[in-house]
Amino acid sequence: MSQSNYGPSHSVKAYSGTPVKSYTSVHCGNRGHYTKNCLTNKDKKCEDPKQIQRSTGIPRSFVAEVLDRSPKGTMLTNTGQYAIPVTVA
């Protein structure tokens, strides 16, 4: 019988060191460290960064473009503009 390579020591190696350049910490939104090693994990005042949704599949006639992403429900269009859904009465 041989031992499996998927023990506790294997999972520790996966999150040690510096992540790839494209990796972003989900908790603070910064790069250069894994979410598990984030310094803001124990900070109760720190909020998760706002994730922006894409408006794929929604016709352009059902969204109105806005200048910033501060309104609630803001989405990102495929042209890179911010938009909010418009209710049709």
**DSSP line for 32-78:** SS-GGG-TTTT-TTPPPPPPPEE-TTS-GGGEEEESSS-STT-EE-T
- Rg of the chain over CA atoms, in angstroms? 20
User: How far is it, in rounded angstroms, from Cα 70 to Cα 87?
Assistant: 19
**Is the overall model pTM greater than 0.75, yes or no?**
no
Average per-residue pLDDT for the chain: 76
57: left (phi over 0), alpha (psi -120 to 50) or beta: left
Return the higher-pLDDT residue of 53 and 2: 53
Q: Are 63 and 85 in contact (CB under 8 A)?
A: yes
pLDDT tens-digit series, residues 52-65: 788 888 888 899 99
* Tokens representing residue 84 in the block: 């909010």
